[in-house]
Amino acid sequence: MDKEDLDTFGERLYSLIYPKHKESAAKLTGMLLELPEAVLSQVLQDEAMLTAAVEKALRALQLAPSRYNSQLENGAVMLVFKADRF
């Protein structure tokens, strides 16, 4: 996936996540953007799948907030989330 595709997916995801999760929308979007492109496409087309993915990402953030929040930028959360599929 090239940067333009990633930006487009990110914008779409953020606009869907933000209304319900204003404070964590950016983090959740970043986590979900680590999913494979095919899964991202499905998540964007299926509201139930998006809800499940967001809930899973929220649980990951809640497990160890300080650890995950401090490591989010270096990809640690994304790798943990990515390894645990739906």
- pLDDT tens for each residue of 46-62: 999 999 999 999 998 88
pTM: 0.72
Residue 83 above 50 pLDDT?
A: no
The total of other beta-carbon atoms located within 10 Å of residue 31's CB is: 26
Kindly indicate the confidence band of residue 37, based on its pLDDT and cuts at 50, 70 and 90: very high
Report the pLDDT value the prediction gives residue 81, as an integer from 0 to 100: 47
CATH of region 3-83, choose from 3.40.1440.10, 1.10.1900.10, 3.40.630.10, 3.30.70.270: 1.10.1900.10
The percent of residues above 90 in pLDDT, for the chain, comes to 62
Average pLDDT of 15-39? 95
Mean pLDDT over each residue of the chain, to the nearest integer: 82
List of long-range contacts for 74-77, beta carbons under 8 Å, 24+ apart? 75/34, 77/27, 77/31
What is the gyration radius of the CA atoms in the chain, in angstroms?
A: 12
